Amino acid sequence: MNQATTTYQLIDGKVVAAQVKKSLKARIAALAERGIIPGLAAVLIGDDPASQTYVDSKAKACAKLGLYSEVITRSADISQEELIGIVKKLNANPKIHGILVQSPLPGHLDELGVTLTIAPEKDVDGFHPHNVGLMLIGRPGPLPCTPFGIIKLLEYYGIDPEGKEVVIVGRSNIVGKPIGAMLLQKAPMANATVTFAHSRTRNLPQVTRRADILIAAIGRANFIKPDMIKDGVVIVDVGINRVEDPSKEKGYRNVGDVDFEACAPKSSYITPVPGGVGKMTIAMLMFNTVTAAEKAR
């Protein structure tokens, strides 16, 4: 029987995100020579603190790279028609190459209707059904930022999914489904055997123990335990969950979907939370915005 791995390597999202951003600088400079500054607009509805923090971090990332950034805020009681009108104006604005409408939206708004209004070429979140379709058939287009970031993490650390069994715990439209579709492609950093597991999966630990690469995106704190993984597994933890911690100034700390302290010794590679996948999401948003600017007329 294999012994648990005594040493493991952290998959450092900070390092990889910095490398992605650094690689964009020459592309941004080339655009500047043509008089083009990549522009990103974020639309924030309501006053959700987590959404505000995330939008602020996107604006700061734009500023550091020299991208043009707009943040449009509206109250939670905005009408569907007014929000659609904002998106249409951004579609027509040549200074804006990327549009994102921060989720979640208030319950009275139709999120799909808003997404469908975004011009597919400005959909830097990769959520428009047109772009989802391109992704599914393996054609070029903007890829969802978090799954795209996961691929970049694996690539940086030389973890090739080809031929490996990847188990994805979670089936969201934002992470689970798209990362599975991307890893299935006949393409570099793909060609994996993909299994989706979720809250209705029977004998879940039996399924997750098959994984050479385990991607946890179920949204439950410390859900993945050591008895659910095999020795030497690569663990990618997408979860960000708040748990109470009186020792912290804020009274809480963020943890992933994986019980890091217990599972890390059995893994070969593992992402920390924070400092792992989350750092990549914004980096790939910058990547998609620069790419959209390059493709714009």
| 58 is a catalytic site residue | yes
Delineate the domains of the chain, giving CATH numbers in brackets. 35-119 (3.40.50.10860), 144-277 (3.40.50.720)
Q: Is the dihedral of CA 42, 48, 52, 53 positive or negative?
A: negative
Per DSSP bridges, beta strands 252-255 and 241-244 are: antiparallel
Rounded Cα gap, residues 179 and 143, in angstroms: 10
Q: Which of 21, 122, 123, 125 is the catalytic position?
A: 125
Q: Which of 102, 177, 259, 279 is the catalytic position?
A: 102
> Is residue 1 scored above 50 in pLDDT?
no
Tens digits of residue pLDDT in 91-137: 999 999 999 999 999 999 999 999 999 999 999 999 999 999 999 99
* Weakest-pLDDT range from 3-12, 52-61, 223-232, 270-279: 3-12
First to last CA, the chain: 60
Q: What is the mean pLDDT of residues 181-193?
A: 98
Tens digits of residue pLDDT in 230-266: 999 999 999 988 888 888 888 888 899 999 999 999 9
Tens digits of residue pLDDT in 162-176: 999 999 999 999 999
E strand or H helix at 43, and its extent? strand 39-45
Q: pLDDT confidence of 276, banded at 50, 70, 90?
A: very high
Q: Which of 58, 152, 266, 279 is the catalytic position?
A: 58
Per DSSP bridges, beta strands 98-101 and 165-169 are: unpaired
Rounded Cα gap, residues 258 and 218, in angstroms: 10
| 125 is a catalytic site residue | yes
What pLDDT is stored for residue 53 in this prediction? 86
| 52 is a catalytic site residue | no
